[in-house]
């Protein structure tokens, strides 16, 4: 128990002092180990856990999806998807709000990053919506909340991280499990965005001529084909998620650099370095978290916490509510990747005791933290979404409220109705 207290205290002090989270995790693990080991052995154990934690073929999907996401973002693929979304839902009243949500869902279904989606889609849609008389802050709120669908709709980098933190839940199963919750969230956000747009009398009827519609549809096929190749290949078992992600890199490279020529060859070294650095930030977190979760389990911390959680209630419904509330609070002030790495080993054993499937919990965990990504004080989608819309958190906040309520309602459905997450992977034999 001493280990647990020391670990938690050191982590809290370093975290609040502003030490980068990966280092705070590694040092708190070291402090916890020093209780029972000498310093040399303790450091060697942490170093060894870090190395073995990174030694995983599944993790390679992260740099590859980041790389292909960056190329999509800059390489004209986002714009073609927006054009497609305009044809599909643009004619409805308040149409541009629907276009924004659908474009984020489409972008999310070929890239693993919601931040990239918020930047790419918001960058195109914001000026367009303002020109049509949509309020700047309302548009930003639509873009910010709907970007989160990309983390539920596969491929999704954070699901790869969860798979690792949970000790090997199938990435393919998690990917497939994310589809229905992601679609459900997207549709719910569209409904609310539509009601608000209608009440404010925003113009609809973005009419696209038949010839133009056909042209746009054909222009978007190469981008849509990527969904088929990546997810189709994974679902049919042709290749592993890692292999699929490498194919996504090759394919987006062909489209963005060779065919559309929107990325210059001279920009490539920078793209590779940036993707490697972004990955490394995740990997250092993964490595040190593996050290910490090893120390935590050897000090029986997950058991202690699960007993503490089970003391107030043995009721499944209340327990899930309690865990959701805790995760929502965590999500407001912690980035998603560290939160998944730290809280998966703590909460997963508890919910599994109550018969929750680890795939289902993965979706619930990510959904909770998605909401946190749109809330201050710390929310990367909120920051990026406000940045591209050239507005401030204080002004967007009020417009985000109805979307938060929508997200919470959908979260409730996803939490208490396991079939929403599990029906598809079960049907496909996972």
Provide the minimum distance between the beta carbon of 58 and other proteins in the complex, in angstroms, as a whole number: 10
Which residue carries 């919506």 as its tokens?
129
How far, in Å, CA of 81 to CA of 425, rounded?
27
Provide the minimum distance between the beta carbon of 59 and other proteins in the complex, in angstroms, as a whole number: 6
Provide the minimum distance between the beta carbon of 416 and other proteins in the complex, in angstroms, as a whole number: 25
Token pair of 389 as six digits: 């819309």
Which residue, 97 or 336, is less far from other proteins as judged by CB?
Answer: 336
Which residue, 45 or 216, is less far from other proteins as judged by CB?
Answer: 45
Token pair of 411 as six digits: 């979260």
Which residue, 344 or 380, is less far from other proteins as judged by CB?
Answer: 380
Cα-flanking dihedrals φ and ψ of residue 76, to 5°? 85, 0
Which residue, 15 or 187, is less far from other proteins as judged by CB?
Answer: 15
Which residue, 261 or 270, is less far from other proteins as judged by CB?
Answer: 270
Residue 62 DSSP SS3: helix
Four-residue CA torsion sign, 117, 119, 124, 129 = positive
How far, in Å, CA of 47 to CA of 34, rounded?
14
Residue 285 DSSP SS3: helix
Provide the minimum distance between the beta carbon of 276 and other proteins in the complex, in angstroms, as a whole number: 4
Which residue, 117 or 220, is less far from other proteins as judged by CB?
Answer: 117
> What is the CA 3 to chain-centroid distance, rounded?
32
Cα-flanking dihedrals φ and ψ of residue 420, to 5°? -55, -40
Provide the minimum distance between the beta carbon of 420 and other proteins in the complex, in angstroms, as a whole number: 22
Token pair of 227 as six digits: 């969904």
Provide the minimum distance between the beta carbon of 246 and other proteins in the complex, in angstroms, as a whole number: 4
Residue 260 DSSP SS3: coil
Which residue, 16 or 218, is less far from other proteins as judged by CB?
Answer: 16
Candidates 194, 113, 100, 169; CA nearest to 360 is 169
Provide the minimum distance between the beta carbon of 274 and other proteins in the complex, in angstroms, as a whole number: 8
Provide the minimum distance between the beta carbon of 261 and other proteins in the complex, in angstroms, as a whole number: 20
How far are the Cα atoms of 75, 79, 87, 141, 215 from residue 84, in angstroms, in the given order?
16, 9, 5, 22, 10
Which residue, 21 or 299, is less far from other proteins as judged by CB?
Answer: 21
Residue 273 DSSP SS3: helix
DSSP 154: S
Residue 153 DSSP SS3: coil
């Amino acid at each position: 128990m001493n280990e647990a207290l020391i670990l938690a205290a050191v982590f809290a002090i370093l975290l609040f002092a502003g030490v980068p989270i990966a280092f705070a995790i590694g040092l708190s693990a070291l402090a916890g180990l020093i209780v029972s080991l000498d310093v040399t052995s303790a450091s060697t154990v942490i170093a060894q856990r870090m190395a073995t934690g990174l030694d995983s073929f599944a993790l390679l999907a992260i740099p590859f999806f980041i790389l292909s996401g960056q190329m999509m973002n800059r390489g004209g693929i986002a714009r073609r998807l927006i054009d497609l979304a305009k044809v599909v839902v643009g004619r409805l009243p308040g149409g541009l709000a629907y276009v924004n949500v659908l474009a984020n869902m489409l972008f999310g279904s070929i890239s693993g990053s919601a931040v990239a989606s918020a930047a790419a889609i918001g960058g195109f849609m914001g000026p367009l919506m303002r020109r049509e008389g949509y309020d700047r802050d309302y548009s930003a709120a639509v873009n910010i909340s709907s970007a989160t669908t990309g983390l539920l709709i596969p491929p999704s980098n954070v699901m790869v991280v969860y798979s690792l933190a949970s000790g090997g839940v199938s990435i393919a199963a998690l990917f497939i499990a994310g589809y229905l919750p992601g679609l459900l969230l997207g549709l719910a956000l569209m409904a609310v965005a539509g009601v608000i747009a209608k009440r404010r009398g925003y113009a609809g009827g973005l009419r696209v001529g038949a010839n133009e519609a056909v042209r746009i549809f054909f222009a978007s096929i190469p981008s849509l084909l990527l969904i088929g190749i990546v997810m189709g290949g994974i679902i049919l078992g042709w290749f592993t998620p890692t292999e699929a992600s490498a194919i996504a890199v090759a394919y987006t490279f062909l489209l963005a650099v060779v065919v559309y020529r929107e990325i210059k060859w001279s920009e490539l070294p920078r793209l590779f370095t940036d993707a490697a650095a972004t990955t490394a930030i995740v990997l250092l977190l993964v490595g040190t978290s593996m050290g910490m979760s090893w120390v935590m389990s050897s000090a029986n911390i997950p058991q202690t916490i699960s007993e503490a959680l089970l003391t107030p209630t043995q009721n499944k419904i209340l327990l899930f509510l309690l865990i959701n509330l805790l995760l929502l609070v965590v999500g407001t002030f912690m980035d998603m990747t560290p939160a998944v790495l730290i809280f998966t080993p703590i909460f997963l054993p508890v919910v599994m005791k109550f018969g929750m499937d680890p795939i289902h919990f993965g979706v619930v965990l990510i959904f909770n933290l998605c909401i946190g990504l749109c809330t201050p004080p710390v929310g990367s989608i909120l920051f990026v979404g406000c940045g591209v819309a050239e507005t401030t958190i204080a002004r967007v906040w009020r417009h985000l409220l109805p979307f938060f309520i929508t997200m919470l309602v959908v979260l409730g459905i996803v939490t208490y109705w396991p079939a929403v997450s599990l029906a598809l992977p079960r049907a496909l034999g996972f």
